[in-house]
Amino acid sequence: MSAEIRKILVADDSEENRAFIAKMLLDLDVQVVHAENGTQALERLKEIEPILFILDSDMPEMDGYQVMNQMMTDENMRHIPVLMLTANLSDRQQSLHKTLLAVTDHLSKPLSADKLVAKVKLFLELDDYRLAIKTMHEDEEKILETMHEGLLGIDAKGTIRYANSAALRLLRTDATQLVGLYLESIFQDPIHTVCSDWSDHPVAKVCREGNILQVEKSDFWRADGTKSKVKFAAVPVSEMKDLELVFAFRELTDARESKTKLSKLTNTDHLTGLPSRIRLEDTLDSAIERVKRHGAHLAVIFLDLDHFKNINESLGHDMGDRIIKDVAGRLKQCVRQSDTIARMAGDEFSAILEGIDKPTDASNAAQKMLDCLREPFLIDGHEIFTGCSIGIATYPNCGDDTRTLLKNADSAAYRAKALGRNNYQYYTAEMNRQILERIEIEHDLHHALDRKEFVLDYSPIVEVASNSVTGFEVTVSWHHPRRGVLQSDSFLPIAEDCGLIVPIGEWLISESCKQIHESSIGDKKKDYKLCVRVSPSHIVKPQFASWLYQCVQDNEMNGENLLVELCETVTMNRQQNCIDVLNDLHTMNVSFALAEFGMGYAPIDLLRNVPLDVIKLPESIVARLQVSQTDQTIALGLIGMAHNLGLKVWASGVDNEAQLRFLVDNGADIVQGSVFSDKLAQDAIVESAVLIENIATRFANIAQTNG
């Protein structure tokens, strides 16, 4: 807030009234400035910047309504809030001044001290928000005082906490009536009760991920029940007391106005200070025109952080916001001063590289970005790891307009993700087909559960010490009606991205428990473990432990029957909620295995924070054991580390006896793979004689060779 004492102007021809008002406001941190009549009040308004103008309606020569009329025609005054003091208005006066009274706060005489102080406190709070919003726009003069644009400050519940004078005029109301209402109420008929959850409102959903929502044409309801055609922008804000977004709007007077930009408010991302998507599109439009004239090249880089959703879910959005700010700072160091870096959405950034000699020059900047984001972010003593996937589209090879270049750079970034993340890819025409295919898969995924297209597969897990089956790893395949059988690696990452991983994962767990319960294994099922992989989206839900407990109980199983496989991103970023859920599950005697140990982003010291029982060697290392001395050395190191930590070692993807021999000789505790058996369907979940014989044969061959 401003260091200066805020001023309140009081205009009343009665000295006694002015003194009474000043006395009532003594305990507030304000300076009261006096005016004896309307003419003097208008002069004072030019000299000072009051946060509130307390104006007596009944003064000689120039009454309060005449003063207000002059203020409304002066662009330098019309934004100043007015509290009108009225007494015994006749019906004619009320009719004559209806418009002014509708948009002006007023108190009736004789004044109530309590009501006066309450009103002034409201305006002080409004000024707090005004100053906070203005701080975000120190380079933009009079953004809050524009005569055309209404601004509302909205809190996390969707409640209006701030309104500038333009908003009050446009909605034909006053601050007392507007502050405290739900923003949603101006979108609908006022006779209806607002009862929906703000978090589900389209405006809230878009802004929650840091996106600016701009709507070119909408209907708003004014306080008097009339409807207004407006365009609006909802801009998410951070680090501002109680506010979640700033809502800016203006009335549309003709069709041409709907094509203009709303204001500079939408040009800056207020979390990072980078240009917004809207501003980047304007910049790219201009850059394309320049390179067209000079026959040069430019490149558009689209960057998407890897696994950022897991960071938000495990550490919370406040920590996520801090990482986004740090990412923005690093990215600015990777490009030239003449280049443009913008934040496009929640964890998406883009860059315009203008004036490059050849398209391949963009790879230098992309590689710098990859390298700088590989380094951990140190926040509150935590090392937070992320990476990024980058797509590059160049002009004119990949498009000759803004929309096409951005779309194609995004497609290239998707391709980078599909190739394992943490890399960059240039756009190719083939990527369009891949994007359309992904969209189709995502669409079909929404119906796959209802259509019962998922099938569970079981892979026997063999304990080395006893040479016997100790459980089954459960995986899901998708029997797609047109594409045939799809393995989990081809669709579960898409399910994770589009928010379907939780229902699919819960179905996998509950259905596998049910199938084991109904299988021919019978009572022996109590000795087996079902290994199921869960997503970070499950672990961050406090109710997950109780849901899982009920699931195993319903199928006459216990926690000992479950081995929950965690990916490293679960442990990558610690949040007490996540650790509490894991501890609750461990109390139920559920065991935990850490998948792909050593291949992800988690630093080793995080192992002490998760109640692990098993580590799972990466299948890529197991696959190369018979041909790579390096992979053998890595495997030996991981096995030794796990045993020193009191953990068992699980090797999956064991396809031949050479791999099996190395693992058994060097201390692997659990092995699994096609060397013993192909995946089993539901009706084959049994420790068959063929399987027992096959296991015995494999171990006998190893023993014979070693002997």
Distances (CA, A) of 452 to 96, 348, 458, 494, 567: 69, 35, 18, 18, 26
Q: Return the pLDDT at 345.
A: 80
Cα 11 to Cα 18: distance, rounded to the nearest angstrom = 8
Q: Return the pLDDT at 192.
A: 42
Q: Return the pLDDT at 190.
A: 43
Nearest to 153 by CA among 139, 141, 136: 136
Cα 387 to Cα 600: distance, rounded to the nearest angstrom = 11
Distances (CA, A) of 567 to 50, 309, 363, 573, 618: 58, 14, 31, 12, 11
H or E segment and range at residue 291: helix 277-294
Give counts: helices (H), strands (E), the chain.
25, 26
User: What SS3 state is found at 164?
Assistant: coil
CA 54 distance to own-chain centroid: 43
Q: Which domains does the chain have, with CATH numbers?
A: 6-135 (3.40.50.2300), 150-267 (3.30.450.20), 277-428 (3.30.70.270), 441-673 (3.20.20.450)
Query: 548 with 585: CB under 8 angstroms?
Result: yes
Q: Return the pLDDT at 2.
A: 44
Q: Return the pLDDT at 157.
A: 84
User: What SS3 state is found at 274?
Assistant: coil
Walking along the chain (707 residues) 10 residues at a time, the average pLDDT comes out as: 75 90 88 91 88 88 84 78 76 55 75 86 82 60 53 86 84 82 72 56 77 80 80 76 81 56 66 86 91 85 86 74 90 89 90 86 90 84 82 88 91 84 84 72 88 92 90 92 90 84 91 82 68 83 85 88 79 59 87 77 60 88 90 92 92 91 93 88 69 84 74
Q: Return the pLDDT at 521.
A: 62
Nearest to 459 by CA among 548, 375, 531: 531
Give the gyration radius of the chain's Cα atoms: 33
CA 512 distance to own-chain centroid: 32
Q: Return the pLDDT at 580.
A: 78
Cα 310 to Cα 418: distance, rounded to the nearest angstrom = 18
Q: Return the pLDDT at 145.
A: 45
Q: Return the pLDDT at 524.
A: 59
Distances (CA, A) of 324 to 307, 309, 339, 426, 543: 13, 12, 20, 24, 29
Q: Return the pLDDT at 579.
A: 75
DSSP state of 271: T
Query: 392 with 427: CB under 8 angstroms?
Result: yes
Whether the ω angle into residue 236 lies within 30 degrees of 0, i.e. cis, is no
Q: Return the pLDDT at 99.
A: 61
Please return the burial class of 425, using the count of CB atoms within 10 Å of its CB with bins 0-12, 13-18 and 19+: buried
Cα 324 to Cα 112: distance, rounded to the nearest angstrom = 50
Q: Return the pLDDT at 54.
A: 92
H or E segment and range at residue 16: helix 15-24
Q: Return the pLDDT at 510.
A: 92
Q: Return the pLDDT at 195.
A: 46
- Residue 60: count of CB within 10 angstroms of its CB: 8
Q: Label residues 196-211 b or e (16+ Cβ within 10 Å = b).
A: eebeebebbebbbebb
Could you list the beta-strand ranges (E) of 89-238: 105-108, 150-154, 160-163, 213-221, 227-236
